[in-house]
């Protein structure tokens, strides 16, 4: 049985999310709008986020944010997805008096 491990980038995403607003937004990569390098970087971000979703640390709440996202898309010409930290992530990665930094 393989035990999943977080990368340094994934750890940074989840700790910043749970110790910040509890949510995380991510721009969707677009081959037509991004340079080759930027597209590759955005895709790595998507892969890291997808791994955190698979591990149960983030959930996709984009559907709950359609109105606000429509305004962002209209003003920026880009689409975004929104993720929220799960209860398990909050318990594991929240810093504070009851939780020590991991």
* pLDDT, mean of each 10-residue run, the chain (102 residues): 90 96 95 96 97 97 94 94 97 78 48
Note whether residue 98 is domain-resident.
no
Q: Residue 74 domain-assigned?
A: yes
Q: pLDDT at position 4, please? A: 85
Q: For residue 98, what pLDDT is reported?
A: 62
Domain residues for 36? 8-93
**Is 102 part of a structural domain of the chain?**
no
Residue at 1 is within a domain: no
Q: Give me the half-sphere count of Cα atoms (radius 13 Å) on the Cβ side of residue 100.
A: 0
Pull the structure tokens for residue 89: 């992530």
Report how far residue 49's alpha carbon sits from residue 13's, in angstroms, rounded to the nearest whole number. 8
Q: Angle at Cα 20 formed by Cα 37 and Cα 4, nearest 5°?
A: 65
Domain membership flag for residue 21 = yes
- Indicate the number of domains in the chain: 1
* 3-class secondary structure, 85: strand
Contact 102, 91 (CB under 8 A): no
Question: What gap in Å lies between CA 57 and CA 84, rounded to an integer?
Answer: 8
């Amino acid at each position: 049985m393989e035990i999943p491990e977080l990368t340094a980038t994934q750890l940074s995403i989840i700790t910043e999310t749970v110790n910040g607003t509890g949510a995380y937004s991510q721009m969707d990569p677009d081959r037509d709008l991004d340079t080759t390098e930027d597209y590759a970087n955005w895709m790595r971000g998507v892969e890291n986020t997808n791994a955190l979703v698979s591990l149960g640390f983030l959930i996709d709440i984009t559907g709950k944010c359609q109105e606000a996202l429509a305004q962002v898309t209209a003003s920026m010409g880009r689409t975004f997805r929104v993720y929220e930290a799960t209860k398990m992530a909050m318990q594991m990665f929240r810093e504070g008096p009851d939780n020590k930094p991991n």
